[in-house]
Amino acid sequence: MNKNSIEFVQNNRIVRIDFAESGIRPSTTVLNYVRQNPETRGTKEGCAEGDCGACTVVIGELDSNGNLVYKAVDSCVMFLPSLHGRQLITVEDLAQKSHNPDKLHPVQKSMVEEHGSQCGFCTPGFVMSQFAMFKNEVTPDRKTIVESLAGNLCRCTGYESIFRATEKTLLNITSDHFSENESDVKALLGEIHSRTKTIEITTKTQQYWLPMSLKEALTLRSKHPDAVIVSGSTDIAVRQNKMFVYADKILDISKIKEIKSISSNHEFIVIGAGTILEDVKKYAEMHIKALSEVLSHFASLQIRNMASIGGNLCNASPVGDLIPMMFALKANAVIQSIEGKRVVSFEEFIVGYRKSCLQSNELLVEIQIPNIPSNANVSFRKISTREHVDISTISLATRIEYDSNNRIKEIILAFGGMAAEPKRATKVEQLMIGKLMNNTSVEEAAGHVFEDFTPISDARSTAEYRINVAKNLIVNALLKK
């Protein structure tokens, strides 16, 4: 077991942080770490909750084939131990400083030429998102660029000039100094991985475990049932940043490869609970269209590159978009402890407000999604203030199956934002069974939605608004051709 230290690559060298010697708290965010260094303060803090992208940095890591891949992430919600075995790239690393003056990277040069910077506060974040797109050779179409930059906000409304700069860069991708140093970086990362074991960090204020295998994680879960489970840190880091709530014990399961795969068989699509949401999104685009609809407007690319599907589901938020979709997909949760596994449906998995059925010695390890029959139609709708990077006011996941007479045989109407937990509109569902799908049957059944829910008024909307929108969502979902 590695004690009290992590290693990562920055500026083509291995950086080692010993938390016991340095006094740095393990849950220190990457943003706060880089801003402690006067030479890396280009990375900015805007919102401290992963919404604005001013803190974007790029992480380089080895994939299963040994290739170096680059991911833009929000450093304000990333804990330092997550850097272990990865490469950290900040905006200061882009220009080649061996020249006089510094030779700008192509993404920086395009931003200058297209006047993409105004006040300049958001610029480093945009540049880093563009850099990740440049390194991943992203297709320069408007939809892809908008989606990739949705997590970066410009308060000066300079989006068109930034879009032009991004498009210009992506149309002229060339080799850069990162390409030239890639083999060296891969060797350094390999060196770190070769000596990596479960990491245990103990300081005066905090204990932090970073296991490398599921067996080790389950053992630690059993020994420390009071530890906070982290699988991406995009939620717990916000509580720390905003409310200054620091967990005494953290069990970070984000490094466990065994729970990061996606596979399929004749019965299920099986998604490892540790799989990041961007990887789930890419898979869903080809295999689970309805889930792809959810993830296309889920947070931002920076967040999806960090947050895991299991972490989001275990959060059990009443306004989380994924849980209603799990209801509609009839998905199961595979739960494991050192004593064995059990499988429950996601309707059983959620037991209350932000509460799952996980016991203190258990982890969610897999999500099983049954293959969708050809006569089933699954879809998703979301109402929120912004199209991207916003929590739902109300969401609806639907599933409809018809019999041979084109009458409704089965229907699931799973809502988020209508109760203390995601919940089905069972009264409306019962009224639709056996009916033909037409304006009369749908309008009549949808009018009973108030019998299923007694929503509250809050900062996002009033109870009356929620009831009216819920009815409209049902009508839209069922009658849309």
pLDDT digit string, tens, across residues 154-182 = 999 889 999 999 999 999 999 999 999 99
pLDDT computed for residue 97 by the predictor: 86
pLDDT computed for residue 365 by the predictor: 98
Cα angle: 188, vertex 191, 196; to 5 degrees: 130
- Give the C-alpha separation, 206 to 448, whole Å: 51
258-479 fold: 3.30.465
pLDDT computed for residue 346 by the predictor: 98
pLDDT computed for residue 1 by the predictor: 66
Contact yes or no for 334/272 (Cβ under 8 A): no
Backbone angles phi, psi at 59, to 5 degrees: -110, 130
106-175 fold: DNA polymerase; domain 1 (1.10.150)
239 Cβ neighbours under 8 A, 6+ residues apart: 245
pLDDT along the chain (481 residues), means of 10: 91 96 96 95 96 97 94 98 98 90 94 94 97 95 93 92 96 94 97 94 96 97 98 94 96 97 96 98 95 92 97 95 97 98 98 97 98 93 86 94 91 97 97 93 94 91 95 92 49
Residue ranges of the chain assigned to CATH 3.30.465.10 = 258-479
pLDDT digit string, tens, across residues 426-468 = 999 999 999 998 999 999 999 999 999 999 898 889 999 999 9
Cross-strand partners of 10: 13
Residue ranges of the chain assigned to CATH 1.10.150.120 = 106-175
Contact yes or no for 88/78 (Cβ under 8 A): no
Residue ranges of the chain assigned to CATH 3.10.20.30 = 2-93+180-252
2-93+180-252 fold: Ubiquitin-like (UB roll) (3.10.20)
- Give the C-alpha separation, 175 to 106, whole Å: 10
Q: pTM for the full model?
A: 0.95
pLDDT computed for residue 102 by the predictor: 86
pLDDT digit string, tens, across residues 340-357 = 999 999 999 999 999 999
Q: How many CB atoms lie within 10 A of CB 188?
A: 18
